[in-house]
Chain A
Amino acid sequence: MRIGFSTGSIALDDVMRGLQVATNAGTNAIELSALRENELDPLLGELDGLEDKLKPFTYISFHAPSKREKFSEEELVARLRLVAERDWAIIVHPDLIENYALWLPLGRALCIENMDKRKNFGCTAAQLRQVFDRLPEATFCFDIGHARQVDPTMQEADALLHDFHGRLRQIHMSYVNSQSLHERLNYESIVAYQRVAHWFTDSIPVILETPVSGNNIDAEILMAQQVFEHLPWYCRHQQSVEEEVSEHVQVYISHNG
């Protein structure tokens, strides 16, 4: 199972520190966050030098700025092409897109995220349908916290996954409160998320957007894994992890008496 954090959630705008924290915690997925426009150029400038630091991660994605004020739409897309060339998913909020033709060349690297209820657009399956109709290659970042905030019964979440599971490239997970703030996972969110977990497979990476300090990372991952614990693939995954650990223990015992 691939699971990790957004650098923004564990280190705000300090991507290097976020990478260090995630590496120390032994996670295998990461989302590099340039959520604010002024973070984009510095991060793009550092990508070539990050190769060694990104080696521990089998999945890497990139969160594009959520608002565009300084750059024109063309300038922003041109910058994001540098990321698309790496075959990473570029997480984009649908309300950022005005001229769809500009975004088409990003192909499947463009990964559209469903929105929370603050936004007038991009929250529901019907709204996202309009986006995917115009960007047929684009993939889908399912923010399960946003979907629960929009509809706590998870009916809309189910509709999003029903309609777009073929495009599903990554999952954003956190508890999104009624003021649209991302919080750590809690029991209520786990119960809600389990209702749609049958849509998820072990190939879909989970990126946690929960604000946690370094010493709470393991606990947060354990909490997130509860969403999947009733799924057959997750049980098999856990069994193989346990067998692997057991083998290592046996080898250690045989070598050290």
Chain B
Amino acid sequence: MPNGGIDPEYDYVATLSKDKQKQWPAIVAARSDAIEVQELLTEKLRPYGSGDFDIVVFGSLARREWTSGSDVDWTMLIDGQASADHLVNSRQVQETLRSLTHKGAHFIDPGAEGIFGNMAFSHEIVHHIGGQADTNRNTTQRVLLLLEAVSLRSPGGDLGPCERVIRQVLYRYLASDSNFHTKTDQESRIPRFLLNDIVRYWRTMCVDFAYKDWEQSGKKWALRNIKLRTSRKLMFVSGLLTVFSCFQNDDLRRTTNVSEDYLLKMQEHLLKFVHATPLNIIVWAFQAAGLDDCCAELLDEYEQFLSSITLNRSHLAGLKEKGVYDDPTFLKCREISHRLQAVLNKAFVMEDTPLREFIFEYGVF
């Protein structure tokens, strides 16, 4: 069972690579390129941020898995008073991004759904968790803030809008969770409200895959399919494992009868996972569950996925849905995703570990 928490600055993948004497060059390159792109964007987009709004990036850039052809999914997250100029500012961010290049290539605009490349407002994200007003877009923005988001803010230790909103969202998940209201239990508690939202979001992504196929007439079907089976699935897995990190965690046992103290302790624990990348969370949690070998196998498969997507992104994006199952590249990527799934099955279900105990107790019903 896990104890303690994750260090969001630590490169657990690199340590595992050394321990297992394995090389994952595509993972290392993707991480290094992501850091480079993030630094470039932080510098160039500085004039478009403030203590009231942050430019936040999501997707492969935030996961530190940047490969050539990745798009920049960004939003201008506003946590301040209303101003009509926010829209002017966000348009200028778009213009600036279009003018920038990395390794000779221009950055690609976010997808056509309108979730990114736009504005997001803290009040909606914090207050509308569930209920009629929690739109698909709102859910996406909120959960992605927890699973794969990085603010383009120069380091300086101040709590910018993105960090403030993340803390508020975490606090909402904990303060509104009756699981944390009991005063007598000395066991560590599971943030079920958060867990349910993460699971709901994963299923939403899967449903939206079919919706986008319908709406966009199969455009980029193969690329979206492969991403759903690999990078998006691992993002969901990292969310599950974030919650697993609370499971029977000795360091999270309730030692005080004051609810607020306990909530803040939980919030601090979860915040560290929010700031860690999905791959580092997976390595941390698998090791905590005694699944080091599974973890190395999973990274072997993910290495293959990243290598393949680097080489074949535009080919996959251009494939028509009809006949896709005759395409050797698509089939090769699909096989990688099946092997990835097999490793996950082994880790979550087949091995007798606390992770299996957790997933049976909380992950199914």
Task: State the A residues within 8 Å of B (CB).
Answer: 149, 152-153, 175, 177-179, 181, 183-189, 191-192, 223
What's the tally of chain B residues with a CB closer than 8 Å to chain A? 18
**Which of B19-27, B85-93, B271-279 interfaces with chain A?**
B85-93
CB within 8 Å of A: which of B75-131? 80-86, 88-89, 92
Across the A-B interface, give the 10 residue pairs with the lowest CB-CB distance, nearest first.
A177-B51, A178-B80, A152-B83, A188-B89, A187-B47, A178-B81, A177-B52, A188-B85, A186-B47, A178-B52
- Min Cβ gap A184→B in Å is 8
Q: Is the CB of A152 within 8 A of B50?
A: no
Contact with A along B54-92 (1 / 0, CB 8 A): 000000000000000000000000001111111011001
Q: Is the CB of A188 within 8 A of B81?
A: no
Does B191 touch A at the CB level, under 8 Å? no
Given contacts A152-B82, A153-B84, A191-B85, contact A181 B51 (CB under 8 A): yes
Most-contacted residue by chain A among B46, B50, B92 (CB, 10 A): B50
Does B209 touch A at the CB level, under 8 Å? no
Q: Is the CB of B84 within 8 A of A152?
A: yes
Partner of A175, one of B50, B82, B88: B50
Task: State the B residues within 8 Å of A (CB).
Answer: 46-53, 80-86, 88-89, 92
Note all chain B residues with C-beta closer than 8 A to A177.
50-52, 80
In the bound assembly, the distance between CA atoms of A179 and B86 in angstroms comes to: 17
Note all chain B residues with C-beta closer than 8 A to A181.
51
In the bound assembly, the distance between CA atoms of A188 and B48 in angstroms comes to: 7
Q: Is the CB of B81 within 8 A of A152?
A: yes
Given contacts A187-B48, A187-B89, A188-B48, 7 further A-B contacts (CB under 8 A): A152-B81, A152-B85, A177-B50, A178-B80, A186-B46, A186-B50, A188-B86
Note all chain B residues with C-beta closer than 8 A to A178.
51-52, 80-81
In the bound assembly, the distance between CA atoms of A255 and B88 in angstroms comes to: 50
Q: Is the CB of B92 within 8 A of A187?
A: yes
Note all chain A residues with C-beta closer than 8 A to B53.
188
